[in-house]
Amino acid sequence: MKHPERIGPDVAPATRVGGRFGVARADVTPPQGIFFRNWGAGTRDVATGVHRPFTVTALTMRTVSDEPPLVLVALDAGWWQDGADEAHVRSGVLEDLGLDPSRVMINLSHTHAGPPLVSENVDRPGGEHVGPYLESLRTAIADVARRALAAEVDGELRWARGRCDLATNRSRWDPAGERYVTGYEPANAADDTLMVGRVTEPDGTIVATLVNYACHPTTLAWDNELLSPDYIGAMRETVEAGTGGAPCLFLVGACGELAPDLQYLGDVSVADRHGRRLGLAALSTLEGMHPHGHDLVFSEIVESGAPLAVWRLSARSADASQVAGERIELALPIKADYPTLDEIDAELARASEPFMRERWTRKLRLRKTLGDADHYPLAIWVWRLGDIVFVGYPGEAFSNLQIDLRAEFPDQAVVVMNVVNGSIGYLPPDAFYDEDMYEVWQTPLDRGCLESLRDASTATVRALLARG
Q: What is the pLDDT of residues 301-317, one digit of tens each?
A: 999 999 999 999 999 88
Q: Considering only CA atoms, which of 287, 296, 290, 291 is closest in space to residue 314?
A: 296
| Longest alpha-carbon distance in the chain | 82
The H or E element that residue 259 is part of is strand 258-259
**Burial zone of 171 (CB within 10 Å; 0-12 exposed, 13-18 middle, 19+ buried):** buried
| CA distance linking residue 267 with residue 257, whole number of Å | 23
**Burial zone of 174 (CB within 10 Å; 0-12 exposed, 13-18 middle, 19+ buried):** exposed
pLDDT at position 1 is 57
The H or E element that residue 313 is part of is strand 307-315
Q: What is the pLDDT of residues 155-183, one digit of tens each?
A: 999 999 999 999 999 999 999 999 999 99
pLDDT at position 2 is 62
Q: Which long-range contacts link 128-137 to residues 24+ away (Cβ below 8 Å)?
A: 129/30, 129/31, 129/33, 129/34, 129/35, 130/34, 130/35, 133/30, 133/31, 133/34, 134/85, 134/88, 134/89, 136/28, 137/28, 137/56, 137/75, 137/77, 137/89
Q: What is the pLDDT of residues 234-259, one digit of tens each?
A: 999 999 999 999 999 999 999 999 99
Is pLDDT above 90 for 360?
Answer: no
- Band of pLDDT at residue 331, cut at 50, 70 and 90: very high
Measured CA to CA in angstroms, residue 461 lies from 37, 226, 415 at distances of 39, 41, 12
Flag whether 35 is in a domain.
yes
Q: Are 255 and 167 in contact (CB under 8 A)?
A: yes
pLDDT at position 7 is 62
Flag whether 75 is in a domain.
yes
Answer with the residue of higher pLDDT: 422 or 340: 422
| CA distance linking residue 114 with residue 109, whole number of Å | 10
Q: Considering only CA atoms, which of 419, 375, 422 is closest in space to residue 397?
A: 419
Question: Which stretches of 204-257 are assigned E, i.e. beta strand?
Answer: 206-213, 226-227, 248-252
Pairing of strands 168-169, 104-108: unpaired
CA 214 to mean position of chain CA atoms:
7
Q: Considering only CA atoms, which of 416, 255, 327 is closest in space to residue 104?
A: 327
Answer with the residue of higher pLDDT: 358 or 323: 323
Measured CA to CA in angstroms, residue 26 lies from 143, 212, 252, 451 at distances of 8, 20, 19, 37
pLDDT at position 145 is 98
The H or E element that residue 237 is part of is helix 231-241
Which residue range forms the structural domain that includes residue 78? 15-292+320-336+374-466
Query: What end-to-end distance do the CA atoms of the chain give, in Å?
Result: 38
Flag whether 245 is in a domain.
yes
Flag whether 304 is in a domain.
no
pLDDT at position 343 is 79
Is pLDDT above 70 for 80?
Answer: yes
**DSSP SS3 for 146:** helix
The total domain count for the chain is: 1
Q: Are 45 and 56 in contact (CB under 8 A)?
A: no
Flag whether 189 is in a domain.
yes
Q: What is the pLDDT of residues 386-439, one digit of tens each?
A: 999 999 999 999 999 999 999 999 999 999 999 999 999 999 999 999 999 999
Taking the CA of residue 434 as centre, how many other CA atoms within 13 Å lie in the half-sphere pointing to its CB? Answer: 2
The pTM of the full predicted model, rounded to 2 decimals, is 0.95
pLDDT at position 467 is 87
Q: Considering only CA atoms, which of 226, 234, 231, 216 is closest in space to residue 266?
A: 226
Q: Are 37 and 47 in contact (CB under 8 A)?
A: no
Flag whether 271 is in a domain.
yes
pLDDT at position 113 is 98
| CA distance linking residue 180 with residue 215, whole number of Å | 19
